[in-house]
Structure 1
Amino acid sequence: MIDKLSLIIVSPEIVLLTMACVIAIADLSVTSRLRTATYWLTMATLGVVAYFTAFFATEGQTIYAFGRMVVSDPMGNWLKCFATLAMMVCLVYGRPYAGDRDMLRGGEMFTLAMFSLLGIFVMISGSNFLVIYLGLELLTLSSYALVALRRDHATATEAAMKYFVLGAMASGFLLYGLSMLYGATGSLDVGTVSKIIATGQVKHQVLVFGLVFVVAGLAFKLGAAPFHMWIPDVYQGAPTAVTLMIGSAPELAAFAICIRLLAEGLMPLAMDWQQMLMVLAVASLFIGNFAAIAQTNLKRMLAYSTIGQMGFVLLGLLSGVVNGSTAPAANAYSSAMFYIVTYVLTALASFGVILLLAREGFESDEIADLAGLNQRSPLYAAIMAICLLSLAGVPPMVGFYAKLAVLQSLVVSGSPIYIGLAVYAVLMSLVAAFYYIRVIKVMYFDAPITATTVAAPLDVRVVLTINGALILVLGILPGGLMTLCAQAILRTLNT
């Protein structure tokens, strides 16, 4: 018998699922090229869902439902709210692009976007291995279909096939690791697994063997090296509107399952998985930043940039337990959460500008395509410059405070290894500054290759301007978001 509280807890998921089915059927009667009715119905649904999740988050309660298979806590609800807002922004930016490329012949883009968001919600809410995996598969299957949405485009189809093959392999890694943990502990419940491991009665070798596969699966979802192979090809090959969808909101879900599985479920094994994350972080910062220098394609450069940025997130996650003490955990994980949220905000704006510049038959995804953008559109050049400076970690952009928070969590640990990692991260950020500033130089100092002005629908202009302004405002006043992340993580860890 399902109790009333359980249904209330999953009401955002119920609304998403119901409306995704309703919109799929209602779209059959929509005839406009840009699917206007479908678009506004989807946006209204996502607006309601964002309100519900924000309301639950501000309540500040941690509630378990469906026999502890699902959890509603402040961290999860805020991440759901941010993911919903990110998906709304993706649809605002992506609709004109998709319409020009005949990707809106049906309403599949909107329906698949809602199903992928539903997968994100299930992943974030999961407090059981099977629920987390169910959400992960719903997200990835929807993402494969989105990447292949341009049926007549060979590059997109190739990207979808690569994504599918590598994604299936990573899902297999994660599932095999979880099955090993289940075999060792006899439970699928995240909290119960943590308690059983803490007793010390389970063979350590078996747990570590399963842990290796779990971390490998999580690294793939985050896009951390050496499990990053899919990111450059999928980012470049997918339609830019879809690149934006798979490079923003799903990152929040990947962070959430890292917290659920590693911090909540496998905290007694922290010294083992932190060493694994250390290797992944060092490799991601090196490979991501040095490979990005060689890129001429803007989407591919941002893909390698993402790998480097995920290195910083991993640095936050690996500094939670020092010498067996979990006291630094709240500070470390909240800095990682702040980093991933601000990264998604910046990624939305940067890909939004690329989408804006893309015209029918012209993708505008080469760095050279941005030449002289300041002369054609000072506003959009300024927004892109703000994004790039934020990604580089230049004050007063929000990216500077995100990097500072992660570095501070490493330094305050007092561990020589972590302080060394902080120095290494700073050096890699200096390398990254080169390729970000190179794009700004192209926008402001190179001669434009075309004299056409940049035109955009009103909703795109408004949202993009707000998006760019938020990166600057949150950089000047980061306290509110930092406090929100700190309180959300603290309440999650205390339950």
Structure 2
Amino acid sequence: MIDNISWLAIYPEIVLLAMACVIMLVDLGVHSPRRTATYVLTMLTLAVVAVLQGVYASSGNTFYGFGNMVVSDAMGNWLKCFATVAVMVTLVYGRPYAADRGMLRGGELFTLSMLALLGMFIMISGNNFLVLYLGLELLTLSSYTLVALRRDNATATEAAMKYFVLGAMASGFLLYGLSMLYGATGSLDIGQVFKAVNSGQIRHQVLVFGLVFVVAGLAFKLGVVPFHMWIPDVYQGAPTAVTLMIGGAPKLAAFAITIRLLVDGLLPLAIDWQQMLGVLAIGSLLVGNLAAIAQTNLKRMLAYSTISQMGFVLLGLLSGVINGNVDAAAVESAYSSAMFYVVSYVLTTLAAFGVILLLAREGFESEEIADLAGLNQRSPLYAGVMAVCLFSMAGIPPLVGFYAKLSVLQALVASGQGLYIALAVFAVVMSLIGAFYYLRVVKVMYFDAPLTATSVSAPLDVRVVLTVNGALVLVLGLLPGGLMALCADAIVRALAT
């Protein structure tokens, strides 16, 4: 029999799923070309869900439901709250763009976004291999459909096909790895897997074999080298509103599933998976930053930027366990810095793509770097927001991206390991190289002559949200303590159970 705690653990998910079904039906009677009723209902639903997740997270309680298959803890609830807000912001930015390109002939953009968010929730809350995989598939299948939403656009269709084929391969990797771990430990429950691995009675070779496939599947979802092939093509080919949907909130879910599997379930194998993550991080920082320099397409450049940024996240996960010894302070510092990095990256990405969406007009995508020429003369506010985002991604103080990079580097250096200190130095050098392609865009915005004299106009809700979004990138850089403390507390509470 299912107890009340089980229902309480998934109450926000129930609200989200029920309202997604209701909105799908209501949309059948909506005839507005901008889907106003569908949009308003969606935003109200997401606002209620975000508040619910915030209340759950603030309580700090941890409880398990459905026979330990689902966990509701501070880390998961905060990540779900942030993911919900990120999807809300994405829909605010993306609605005018979608309306101009015939993507709102039905309400699929809104309902599929809500189902993708539900998939993220299940990934974040999963405490069982099958639950995690079901959440992952719900997210990815919704994402494939969103990429192909412009049915009359060959580029978007091609991007969706590439995403689908490579995504299916990555899902196979992850499922095969999980099946190997199940075969070795005899359980799908992450807590039971941890106990079985920690007992030391299972052959190490079998565990590592399964672990390799699990890390490969996770690397694809994070978009790190050498599993990054889909990111540039999908980012460039997908409609820009969908690119933001893929590049924003799902990164929070990918971080959560990595913590659930590698830290909650396979921490005794940390010495093995940390080596794998180290190699992935080095490759991502190197390829991401060097390849971005050669790009003239802004979305493609930001795709390679994402690869390098995810390399930094992996660096944050490296120093939690040192020489096989679990130290509470090192665990808190390492994993909270990675969580802070992911949250700040998503915040910055939202604003950067918000500006690209704002500049796009009907029949004009505004996705080449040259399209931003003289933006400061056309709109100082939006040029300023874009500059703040680019400086933040480059890690220039006093913006939030600088503090995110600093916290990861501090965790590496505090480990006292020569290899980790060398990795920190390498990451700094790569960041210096990366600063070139970010600053090149700023130079184009402020010093090149504008291609058109038309002023930039946007609906009121887009202007307000974009301004607040850009301001947060600056404010959280000046006052990062609150968010950092929230991440640290969430990680400590999650790992304590």
TM-score if structure 2 supplies the norm length? Answer: 0.99
* Matched letter for residue 71 of structure 1: V
Does 2:448 match 1:446? yes
Q: Deviations over 1:417-436 (max 9, x none)?
A: 00000000000000000000
Q: Deviations over 1:266-323 (max 9, x none)?
A: 0000000000000000000000000000000000000000000000000001111001
Report the Cα offset of residue 5 of structure 1.
1.5
* Residue 389 of structure 1: aligned partner: 391
Distance across 2 between alignment mates of 1:268 and 1:368 = 50
Distance across 1 between alignment mates of 2:253 and 2:109 = 20
Q: Deviations over 1:131-176 (max 9, x none)?
A: 0000000000000000000000000000000000000000000000
* Residue 76 of structure 2: aligned partner: 76
* Residue 177 of structure 2: aligned partner: 177
Distance across 1 between alignment mates of 2:144 and 2:126 = 22
Give runs of aligned pairs for residues 393-404 of structure 1, distance below 5 A: 393-404=395-406
Does 2:382 match 1:380? yes
Report the Cα offset of residue 26 of structure 1.
0.2
* Residue 290 of structure 2: aligned partner: 290
Contact residue 330 and residue 493 of structure 1 kept, 8 A: no
* Residue 114 of structure 1: aligned partner: 114
Contact residue 372 and residue 443 of structure 1 kept, 8 A: yes
Give runs of aligned pairs for residues 89-108 of structure 1, distance below 5 A: 89-108=89-108
* Residue 456 of structure 1: aligned partner: 458
Distance across 1 between alignment mates of 2:70 and 2:113 = 22
Report the Cα offset of residue 9 of structure 1.
1.2
Distance across 2 between alignment mates of 1:351 and 1:313 = 21
* Residue 53 of structure 2: aligned partner: 53
Distance across 2 between alignment mates of 1:385 and 1:337 = 24
Please give the secondary structure, in 2, of the residue aligned with 1:303. Answer: helix
Distance across 1 between alignment mates of 2:190 and 2:236 = 36
* Residue 346 of structure 1: aligned partner: 348
Report the Cα offset of residue 325 of structure 1.
1.8
Distance across 1 between alignment mates of 2:191 and 2:397 = 40
Report the Cα offset of residue 330 of structure 1.
1.3
Give runs of aligned pairs for residues 305-454 of structure 1, distance below 5 A: 305-327=305-327, 328-454=330-456
Moved over 2 A (4+): none
Q: Please, which runs of 5 or more residues in structure 1 have no aligned partner?
A: none
Q: Please, which runs of 5 or more residues in structure 2 have no aligned partner?
A: none
Distance across 2 between alignment mates of 1:220 and 1:23 = 32
* Matched letter for residue 212 of structure 1: V
Q: Deviations over 1:82-109 (max 9, x none)?
A: 0000000000000000000000000000
Please give the secondary structure, in 1, of the residue aligned with 2:252. Answer: helix
Please give the secondary structure, in 2, of the residue aligned with 1:201. Answer: coil
* Residue 475 of structure 1: aligned partner: 477
Distance across 1 between alignment mates of 2:461 and 2:8 = 33
Distance across 2 between alignment mates of 1:323 and 1:166 = 35
* Residue 151 of structure 1: aligned partner: 151
Report the Cα offset of residue 472 of structure 1.
0.2
Contact residue 394 and residue 431 of structure 2 kept, 8 A: yes
Contact residue 159 and residue 238 of structure 1 kept, 8 A: yes
* Residue 40 of structure 1: aligned partner: 40
Contact residue 391 and residue 399 of structure 1 kept, 8 A: yes
Please give the secondary structure, in 2, of the residue aligned with 1:64. Answer: strand
Contact residue 71 and residue 125 of structure 2 kept, 8 A: yes
Distance across 2 between alignment mates of 1:476 and 1:197 = 43
* Residue 248 of structure 2: aligned partner: 248
* Residue 139 of structure 1: aligned partner: 139
Report the Cα offset of residue 2 of structure 1.
1.3
Distance across 2 between alignment mates of 1:71 and 1:252 = 16
* Matched letter for residue 272 of structure 2: D
Report the Cα offset of residue 365 of structure 1.
0.1
* Matched letter for residue 269 of structure 1: L
Please give the secondary structure, in 2, of the residue aligned with 1:71. Answer: strand
* Matched letter for residue 99 of structure 1: A
Distance across 2 between alignment mates of 1:239 and 1:432 = 26
Report the Cα offset of residue 324 of structure 1.
1.8
* Residue 234 of structure 2: aligned partner: 234
Does 2:235 match 1:274? no
Percent identity over the alignment is: 77
* Matched letter for residue 365 of structure 2: E
* Matched letter for residue 420 of structure 1: A
Please give the secondary structure, in 2, of the residue aligned with 1:226. Answer: coil
TM-score if structure 1 supplies the norm length? Answer: 1.00
Between the two proteins, the alignment pairs up a number of residues equal to: 495
* Residue 19 of structure 2: aligned partner: 19
Contact residue 5 and residue 64 of structure 2 kept, 8 A: no
